[in-house]
């Protein structure tokens, strides 16, 4: 286990994790809301360091990134854990439904070993994805720094729920981002996802300000986040930062705790039209 970054020691050996806006106060022997950061005797440790549960090679378009080295194959890495609890999570088996003993069964793959895989196989791109990479911050940043030394480009696919200071530490090591903006309604973030929207908006702003490549994904769910006015506001927010931001409007399928119909094609087309009022690069995804 590796000691975590970004925490404060509080009274009675409790620690406060300040990596993400949840700011969990964690008692001795417990983990924070993401399930992968544990207080042991007043020190915070990351359980996910060098413990990936998914390593695959994907087309870069699957992240999705359409305007960053199209056609590239990308080594994609994820661990357990997430700092949101979206009731419609498309990857709930690794983000939500795991237990601490599961970590002991995972084969260790260090950042150095990831670099060796890239060298041996000739991979030029690495993605931190599948679950929320912020929760394995230390593993991600060590991998990204090593990749940079050999000219390998890195990508973070994230919900954007990371505090400003760690984001600014990370951002210079990462070449491109896909950020989920799940709704423009703060109540949706709170009630359906267990998070808050402002940090994700701040993350998007900082990525744009730093001139990094950014694509945004909006997962459209009929009856849940299909308010046209709110979506119009979301697009206006992105356009106010940069009209060239790429927006993916993705079709949702029922998963985890929510039962709903797969997003109808007419609704996706309708939202595409709304997005075109403010943005130039819009793609409808998850459809054949
Ligand atoms: S990263 Fe995890 S432990 Fe830290 S504040 Fe967020 S949810 Fe809590």
At 213, list the tokens: 């490549």
pTM comes to 0.96
Tokens found for residue 228: 């046209």
pLDDT of 103 reads 83
Distance CA 135, CA 81 (A): 7
Closest residue by Cα to atom 4, ligand 1, is 17
Please report the DSSP string for 143-170 in residue order. Answer: HHHHHHHTT-EEEEEE-----HHHHHHH
With a 6 A CB cut-off, is 19 part of the ligand 1 pocket?
yes
The atom number, within ligand 1, closest to the CA of 33 reads: 7
For the segment 69-96, the average pLDDT, to the nearest whole number, is 93
Atom of ligand 1 nearest to the CA of 83: 7
Distance of CA 260 to the CA centre of its chain: 23
Residue 157 · residue 127 · CB < 8 Å: yes
- Rounded Cα distance between 18 and 40, Å, is 17
Q: 183 CA to middle of ligand 1, Å?
A: 22
Q: Which residues contact 166 (CB under 8 A, 6 or more apart)?
A: 5, 6, 19, 134, 137
Reported as a single tens digit per residue, the pLDDT across 181-211 is: 999 999 999 999 999 999 999 999 999 999 9
Answer yes or no: is pLDDT of 101 > 80: no
pLDDT band at 1 (very low <50, low <70, confident <90, very high): confident
Write out the two tokens for 182. Answer: 């799940």
Please work out whether the CB of residue 23 comes within 6 Å of at least one atom of ligand 1: yes
- Ligand 1 and 162: CB distance under 6 A: no
In which residue are the tokens 């039209």 written? 273
CA separation for the pair 284, 247 (Å, rounded): 9
Q: 5 CB under 6 A from ligand 1?
A: no
**Domain 54-285 in CATH 3.20.10.10:** no
pLDDT on residue 85: 94
Residue 104 has a pLDDT of 86
| Domain(s) of CATH 3.20.20.70: residues in the chain | 54-285
pLDDT band, residue 20 (cuts 50/70/90): very high
- Tell me if 262 sits within 8 A of 220, measured CB to CB: no
34: Cβ below 6 Å to ligand 1? Answer: yes
- Compute the C-alpha angle 103/104/105, nearest 5°: 90
pLDDT (tens digit per residue) in 154-185? 999 999 999 999 999 999 999 999 999 999 99
Please tell me the distance between residue 138's alpha carbon and the centre of ligand 1 in angstroms: 13
Percent of the chain with pLDDT over 70: 100
Per residue in 37-71, pLDDT (tens digit) is 999 999 999 999 999 999 999 999 999 999 999 99
Q: State the Cα–Cα distance between residues 171 and 66, nearest whole angstrom.
A: 20
Lowest mean pLDDT among 68-77, 92-101, 276-285: 92-101
What is the reported pLDDT for 42? 97
Which atom belonging to ligand 1 lies closest to the Cα atom of 7? 4
Report which ligand 1 atom has the smallest distance to the Cα of 81.
Answer: 2
pLDDT of 58 reads 97
Between CA 37 and CA 24 the distance in angstroms is 10
């Amino acid at each position: 286990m590796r000691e975590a970054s970004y925490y404060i020691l509080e009274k009675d050996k409790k620690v406060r994790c300040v990596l993400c806006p949840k700011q969990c106060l964690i008692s001795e022997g417990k983990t924070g809301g993401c399930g992968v950061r544990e207080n042991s005797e007043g020190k915070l440790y990351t359980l996910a360091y060098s413990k990936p549960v998914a390593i695959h090679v994907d087309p870069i378009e699957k992240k999705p990134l359409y305007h960053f080295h199209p056609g590239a194959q990308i080594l994609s890495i994820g661990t357990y854990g997430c700092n949101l609890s979206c009731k419609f999570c498309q990857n709930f088996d690794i983000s939500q439904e795991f237990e601490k003993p599961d970590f002991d069964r995972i084969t260790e793959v260090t950042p150095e070993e990831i670099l060796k895989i890239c060298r041996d196989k000739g991979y030029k791109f690495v993605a931190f994805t599948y679950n929320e990479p912020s929760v394995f911050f230390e593993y991600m940043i060590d991998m990204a720094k090593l990749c940079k030394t050999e000219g390998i480009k890195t990508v973070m696919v994230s919900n954007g729920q990371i505090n400003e200071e760690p984001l600014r530490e990370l951002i210079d090591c990462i070449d491109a981002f896909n950020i989920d903006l799940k709704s423009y309604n703060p109540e949706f973030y709170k009630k359906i996802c267990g998070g808050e929207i402002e940090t994700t908006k701040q993350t998007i702003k900082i990525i744009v300000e730093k001139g990094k490549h950014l694509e945004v994904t909006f997962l459209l769910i009929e009856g849940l986040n299909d308010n046209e006015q709110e979506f119009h506001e979301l697009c206006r927010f992105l356009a106010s930062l940069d009209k060239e931001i790429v927006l993916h409007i993705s079709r949702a399928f029922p998963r985890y705790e929510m039962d709903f119909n797969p997003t109808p094609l007419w609704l996706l087309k309708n939202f595409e039209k709304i997005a075109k009022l403010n943005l130039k690069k819009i793609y409808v995804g998850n459809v054949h």
